[in-house]
Amino acid sequence: MQNKDIKRLSLFLLFAPFALWIILLIILPHIGMVILSLKEKVAPRVYEYSFANYLEFLNEPIYWNTLLRTGSMSLLVTALALLIGFPIAYYIAKIAGPRSRGGLFLLCLIPLWVSDLIRAFGWILLLRETGVISNFLQWTGLVGAPVEFLYNDVAVIIGLTYTVILFMIVPLVSTLDGMDNSMIEAGYNLGGNGFTVLRRIIVPYAMPGIVAGCIVTFMLTAGSYLTPILLGGKNSSWFTEQIYNQFITRFNWEGGAAFGMLLLLFTSLVIWLGLKLSGQTLANTVAKS
Amino acid sequence: MLAQNKTTPFLLGYRLYVVAFFIFLAAPLISAGAFAFNDSLFPALPWQGFTLDWFFGDTEPKLGMFHDRRLLQGLYYSFVIAIFVSALSVFVGTTNAFLFVRGEFPGKNFFYILMVVPLVIPGVILGISILVLASDTANYVENRFDLELEFLRPGLMLVVLGQFSFIATITSLVITARLKKFDATMEEAAFNLGASRARVLRTITLPFLRPAMIAAGIVAFLVSFENFNTTLFLVGSEAPLTITMYDRMAKVGSTPVLNAVSFFLMVGSGLLALLSIVVQRDKSAR
């Protein structure tokens, strides 16, 4: 009996920090945001509940265009990160010798510990009109005058892919690492060619890692703020920038909260669809890595 | 697709691709770091010769980072925030690990997913939602009880809470993974030898978890140090380094002193990351 009480008490004590964290910093703030987003200012200091903030979003094409643009560019970045990152992860996990494997993996992790700001700054120094690449092209004589590579969508996509690709590679390496090489050999022995083995054996095995990498990559891209603004210039029209403008520049907290909810709903919807289509769950993908 | 043993043209091309990828990975970091040593007023080519002025210079056009009061202040605030965030996150991460590995309670899977969720909420949303709740609470208390709760206004406290809200997930996952590998017979042996619960925890279980706790603390420290999105909405007058640097970049335009700070941060976080790897590898036969 006493033993049972102790168990109960310790379970309660362990549950308390978890509950405080999740309730005070995640659940209540989000409820507060939903309530705020449903308020409409009808007179100074007088508010009414309505869907006005959401209707404004629908009536103003620039807002939902920005959200769609953010979503589609984030999907493009996610796909690019997967295409570029998968061969790298496969190389690290399966082809590199045991000695170079650890080193390559570490090399992959180094940019992870460098702030977004510094990475974007590095790209600015490379891409701008007076930057390294422009100078190099002039030096080789390929172009006659300085070229501006910054402040366009390509620069934003390069910068974003660069920023998030490590979050794709890390879960991929850890799933591929757990795969038995004999499975690949069996595929070849049964007469499969390289493409069949990749499609029928390697990709299905790596699916949890692929999905985990895609979810994290997509969320980070859609929620990113610095990279699109610094590399895309003033007109990058990224949705987080709209949220910032509503909150800080226009001091319209109700509108900003509605935009925040829309971003959250939109990204959750995309991830839910992705999980459904790939037959995975949040617990066996993101939670595992 | 990927034949392994013979050196084919395909494998050679594959290797070249991997090399090209690592050049892509390194290029912006090198350019951000290297211009810190260029003796020029702008972080751009041509190379004007080597200098350390952007670190140690003490007069105006080339005021080095170690004489720039606002940058040093930013560094100090970042440091304070990161210390609090990593201490809190390691504590909650450890209790969560025990809760989810040892505890048995209804709805455990649901709560586990709830624990992971903060990691996939965009940082901007975490920032504004915590800002909204804190301001609402502060306004309510002020109107109702005529009490001004300063810590609920944008400032250090909110930045710490905002960063903690998702970094705690990272530390929980790291420490949970380690606790899952714990061999329960070690605790049983200690109990059989007559040790008390507290003593077993102190001498057996926590020492086993220590590498993961240290590594999680370092990761939390680094993530907090480089965070921008969540911090942006919660920051008061005490701006941490990333915010100060962003202001500089957006308003004043970039000078090589920013490259000096970048170099300093890259070396610092590189060393810390290495330390976390060494600590985790130590004695943990993986």
Instruction: Find where tokens 């002193």 sit.
Output: B257
Q: What is the pLDDT of residue A82?
A: 93
B70-253: CATH topology: MetI-like fold (1.10.3720)
Least confident of A64-78, A213-227, B36-50, B161-175: B36-50
Q: What is the pLDDT of residue B168?
A: 93
Cα gap B184→B180, rounded to integer Å: 10
Whether residues A87 and A168 fall in one domain: yes
- The three-state secondary structure class of B38 is strand
Question: Is it the case that residue B85 has pLDDT exceeding 90?
Answer: yes
Q: What is the pLDDT of residue A289?
A: 47
Q: Which of A7, A22, A38, A113 to mutate to test the interface with B (most CBs of B within 10 A)?
A: A113
CB contact, 8 Å: B51 with chain A? no
Taking contacts as CB-CB distances below 8 angstroms, the residues of chain B near A282 are 113, 116, 120
Question: B252-271: per-residue pLDDT in tens?
Answer: 667 788 888 888 888 888 88
Q: What is the mean pLDDT of residues A21-37?
A: 90
Q: What is the pLDDT of residue B81?
A: 93
Whether residues A11 and A98 fall in one domain: no
CB contact, 8 Å: B110 with chain A? no
Q: CATH number for the domain including A212?
A: 1.10.3720.10
Whether residues A189 and A80 fall in one domain: yes
Contact B49, A142 (CB under 8 A): no
Taking contacts as CB-CB distances below 8 angstroms, the residues of chain A near B270 are 110, 113
Whether residues A31 and A129 fall in one domain: no
B153: left (phi over 0), alpha (psi -120 to 50) or beta: beta
Taking contacts as CB-CB distances below 8 angstroms, the residues of chain A near B129 are 29-30, 32-33, 260
Q: What is the pLDDT of residue A287?
A: 58
Taking contacts as CB-CB distances below 8 angstroms, the residues of chain A near B43 are 125
Q: Determine, yes or no, domain membership for A20.
A: yes
Question: Is it the case that residue B285 has pLDDT exceeding 50?
Answer: no
Question: Is it the case that residue B180 has pLDDT exceeding 50?
Answer: yes
Q: What is the pLDDT of residue B7?
A: 64
Whether residues A91 and A28 fall in one domain: no
Q: What is the pLDDT of residue B286?
A: 40
CB nearest A32 (choices: B122, B136, B269): B136
Tell me the angle at which helices A203-222 and A253-278 cross, rounded to the nearest 10 degrees: 170
Q: Determine, yes or no, domain membership for A88.
A: yes
Q: Which residues contact B238 (CB under 8 A, 6 or more apart)?
A: B73, B77, B155, B156
Q: What is the mean pLDDT of residues B210-216?
A: 88
Q: What is the mean pLDDT of residues B217-234?
A: 89
Domain that holds residue A271: 53-278
Q: What is the pLDDT of residue B145?
A: 85
Whether residues A30 and A146 fall in one domain: no
User: pTM above 0.80?
Assistant: yes
Taking contacts as CB-CB distances below 8 angstroms, the residues of chain A near B259 are 121, 125
Q: What is the pLDDT of residue A285?
A: 66
Question: Is it the case that residue B246 has pLDDT exceeding 60?
Answer: yes
Q: How many domains does chain A have?
A: 2
The answer to whether A87 contacts B17, with C-beta atoms less than 8 Å apart, is yes
Contact B240, B159 (CB under 8 A): yes
Question: Is it the case that residue B23 has pLDDT exceeding 50?
Answer: yes
Question: A83-119: per-residue pLDDT in tens?
Answer: 999 998 888 888 877 778 878 887 877 777 788 888 8
In our burial notation (b when 16+ CB lie closer than 10 A, e otherwise), range A147-171 reads bebbbeeebbbbbbbbbbbbbbbbb
Q: Determine, yes or no, domain membership for A43.
A: no
> Which DSSP letter does residue A49 get?
E
Dihedral sign computed on CA atoms, order A135, A137, A143, A149: negative
Residues 162-181 of B with CB under 8 A from A: 162, 164-165, 168, 173
Alpha helices in A110-152 (DSSP H): 116-127, 132-140
Whether residues A26 and A59 fall in one domain: no
Q: What is the pLDDT of residue A1?
A: 52
Q: Determine, yes or no, domain membership for A8.
A: yes
Q: CB pairs below 8 Å between A and B: how many?
A: 231
User: Among residues B136, B127, B159, which one has the least CA distance to residue B236?
Assistant: B159
Q: What is the pLDDT of residue A188?
A: 77
pLDDT confidence bin for A11, thresholds 50/70/90 = confident
Dihedral sign computed on CA atoms, order B269, B270, B273, B275: negative
Q: Considering chain A, what is the average pLDDT of its residues? A: 83
Q: What is the pLDDT of residue A278?
A: 77
Whether residues A93 and A129 fall in one domain: yes
Q: Token pair of B184, please?
A: 């329960």
3-state helix, strand, coil in chain B (%, to 5): 75, 0, 25
Q: Determine, yes or no, domain membership for A286.
A: no
